Structure 1
Amino acid sequence: MATTDRLREIYDRMLAHWGPQHWWPAETPLEVMVGAILTQNTAWKNVERAIANLKGAGVLSLTALAELPTALLAEYIRPAGYYNIKAGRLHNLLHFITDHHGDDLQSFLAQPLPQLREQLLSVKGVGRETADSILLYAAGLPIFVVDAYTHRILVRHQVIDEDFGYEAIQELFMDNLECDAQLYNEYHALLVRVGNVYCKKKNPACAACPLQGM
């Protein structure tokens, strides 16, 4: 089966099994960006607790977060783990935005995709997956987000070799699927769901997986 057809079948099976995932679970683009930093190396439920702390303190705005002392920000996001590191990364990103765009987050996110991606990746602590999550989910731009679940699922179903890196996997999706932010959004969210529920690193539940037999 051609790669395009295989990727389409994977998507169709997951969507038929679960339906739309309504990702990213956030109320604003800023909340997406904060979540993209906080979700590094932790479970999403911990991110939700950290964001709830920020909302409860009334500081979930670009200006308020940027002006918080880093140590206080770290306390608010403590549930997300690695809170001192993540507070520093959040401030790196927020200060980059306020330095170049003031409090106008929309003008930052309205930049062309290549330019915005380059700027995000220039921020210390923002890697490819985090940058692409911001591009796709906060800015609504068509770029495919690759994570460990994506790599694991494609390797196990023999779509890619083990040594495929981030860019090669991203190109695979973007070369074989239409350039559609909503499709990339849904596809990534469904892969995360499969990875969480069935395609676990240890003891995968293959028999019940919607991708079984592919």
Structure 2
Amino acid sequence: MRVNYGGDRDLDETWLDDGWEPLLRSWLAEAVAAAVYEPNAMVLATVDPAGWPATRTVLCKGMSDQGVVFYTNHGSDKARHLAVTPYASATFAWPLIGRQVTLRGTVSHVDRETTQRYWRSRPRGSQLGAWASDQSRPIGSRADLDRALAEVSARFPGEIPVPDDWGGFLLAPRVVEFWQGRENRLHNRVRLTADADRGWIAERLQP
């Protein structure tokens, strides 16, 4: 199973003269325009306390030159991993347009005000789901989960507060790689690395 890539302009190092964020935003916008399903999805990789890697898909819910933001229960596997090893990698993959971006760096909690602002933008059902689910913990059946949802729905007939154990995380990248598919597997790869003295340093990598 192979896909032929190409047809767009070749990725050039000069596209990253202003850092990683403008190009990532541009590529995300192109993914949206191409009707990519959940274009803000990113595969988040963490390491558990035993050193085993773990990946899962989360949604990017914020982006700035400081990094990308996602939200989760603080008791989830990923949050518990990050509490021990606060480093992660996140990859946006858009095969439909032949693009991929990977960010690697440190992870920290966002402030409570940012979490509350995002929480208010969530649909009511998503808010109730965050209360009903003890994320990553075993549960006996689907019926038990549905029962938990019914209980919190009755508990919060009006405004739903942010759970104490739920919030945002900021992945602040130190390395960002942009990948663009090309013919004969001679893909374009440009990596940006943060340097304390010189800012972001771009280099082209062999595919």
* TM-score of the superposed pair, with normalisation by structure 1: 0.22
More strand by share: 2
Q: Greater CA radius of gyration, 1 or 2?
A: 2
More helix by share: 1
* TM-score of the superposed pair, with normalisation by structure 2: 0.23
